[in-house]
A = this chain, B = another copy of it.
Amino acid sequence: MELRYTDEQRAFRREAREWLEANVPSGPLPSFDTAEGARLHREWEAKLNAGGWAMVPWPVEFGGRGADLFEWLIFEEEYYRAGAPKRINQNGIFLLGPTIMEFGTKQQKARFLPKMASSEEVWAQGWSEPNAGSDMANIQATALRDGGHYIVNGQKTWASRGAFADWLFGMFRSDPDSERHRGLSFILVPLNLPGITVRPIPQLDGLPGFAEVFFDDVRVPAENRLGEEGAGWRVAMATAGFERGLMLRSPARFQHTAQRLVSLCRAHRELVGEALQDEVARCWIGAEAYALETYRTVSKLLAGGKIGSESSLNKVFWSELDLRMHELALQILGECGPASENAAAAEWLDGYLFALSGPIYAGTNEIQRNIIAERILGMPR
């Protein structure tokens, strides 16, 4: 056990810190779920990419800098420390990107990854359908082969970033006689094709964070299929693993929130009382525990280990921690009088609304607890 950074890791941190301090926009950008915000976030991603910081663990040829997972954690720590913008293309860089690395052809990698890293192409995910939410295998939308194309019909919903994205990935039933997990194909669809209708869905905060996407005889080139025809479930399971996994939910985000919560509590300590202070301390401990567990996991991965169902532990832990931190912040603010008197209040309320989605998306926490019980603990189905 060696809990000190190497000289190289410290040098990497310094470099990231210097670049970010020089380049991060001062003040927050508008939400990327607005037209203006989407434009500004794409601008930021372009700058990040130009600096070589868009996706540090990716190979250089795809827009990365070939960093290892420890450097990725370090980069994320610096990114949140600098207060840099949220990643508009997270569906691409954190979910689809690693999936293409694993399942894509050489051509697909070259075609998609660099423009993903630069956010020239922003991705929406098309996981859910009206009757396929937690039950992901109940997919009805079809993609039927017609020579060099698939003819896509049906509907996806809760497509996050759907309103302002360029592309969508998702599973479609390519064998019309198949059921459940079989006969599905994983297909990448440009959202500007004829026959596609995108209906943005406003979220709790009023902004169109997701969309319904309707497909009416949409012709998609067959080379946009990722993995074998009919093997879409396996590809999607890998993507879902990335969704719950390490890259998307590195600890820095939660440590940053915990830090803001502690600052808020410090500022109002006399109003707050010991019971709330205790809960704040527990949240900070939770964020630390999450960081430590991640470093432990990365240590294992770099030594050749794998993570599988353990990502379900992560997903439940961070989503409930994140929600708890925002609840506490609102409670503390509630002790300080009306919201307008505190500039942070609106930000915490927005964050709370976002945090409420944590236990739902990427597989509800009920599903994750089933996975923990059945696959990790080995309890009977």
Contact residues in B for A275 (Cβ distance below 8 Å) = 274-275, 278
> Which B residues are CB-close (under 8 A) to A274?
273-275
Q: What 0/1 pattern do residues 234 to 263 of A give for CB contact below 8 A with B?
A: 000000000000000000000000000000
Task: Mark A residues whose CB is within 8 Å of B.
Answer: 273-275, 278
Q: Which residue of B lies closest to A275 (CB)?
A: B275
Distance between Cα atoms of A298 and B223 in the complex (Å): 73
Interface of A is mostly: helix
5 A-B contacts (beta carbon < 8 Å): A273-B274, A274-B274, A274-B275, A275-B275, A275-B278
A273 proximity list for chain B (CB < 8 A): 274
- Return A335 CB to nearest CB of chain B, in Å: 14
Chain B residue with minimal CB distance to A279? Answer: B275
User: Which B residues touch A278, using CB under 8 A?
Assistant: 275
The chain B residue sitting closest to A276, CB to CB, is B275
Chain B proximity of A91: nearest CB distance (Å): 35
Q: Using CB atoms, name the residue of chain B closest to A274.
A: B274
| Nearest-CB residue, chain B, relative to A278 | B275
A316 smallest CB distance to B (angstroms): 20
Q: How distant is A67 from chain B, measured CB to nearest CB, in Å?
A: 43
How distant is the Cα of A274 from the Cα of B278 in the complex, in angstroms? 10
- In this complex, what residue of B is CB-closest to A273? B274
Report A49 CB to chain B, min CB distance, Å. Answer: 48
Q: How long is the Cα–Cα vector from A278 to B273 in the complex, in angstroms?
A: 11
A207 to chain B, nearest CB (A): 33
Min C-beta distance of A271 to chain B, whole Å: 13
Docked complex Cα distance between A274 and B360 (Å): 34
Q: 5 nearest interchain CB pairs?
A: A274-B274, A275-B275, A275-B278, A274-B275, A273-B274
Q: How far is the CB of A266 from chain B (nearest CB, A)?
A: 18
Please give the distance in Å from A328's CB to the nearest CB on chain B.
13
* Bound Cα distance from A74 to B200, whole angstroms: 62
Distance between A373 CB and nearest chain B CB, rounded to angstroms: 15
Q: A274 vs B273: C-alpha distance in the bound complex, in angstroms?
A: 8
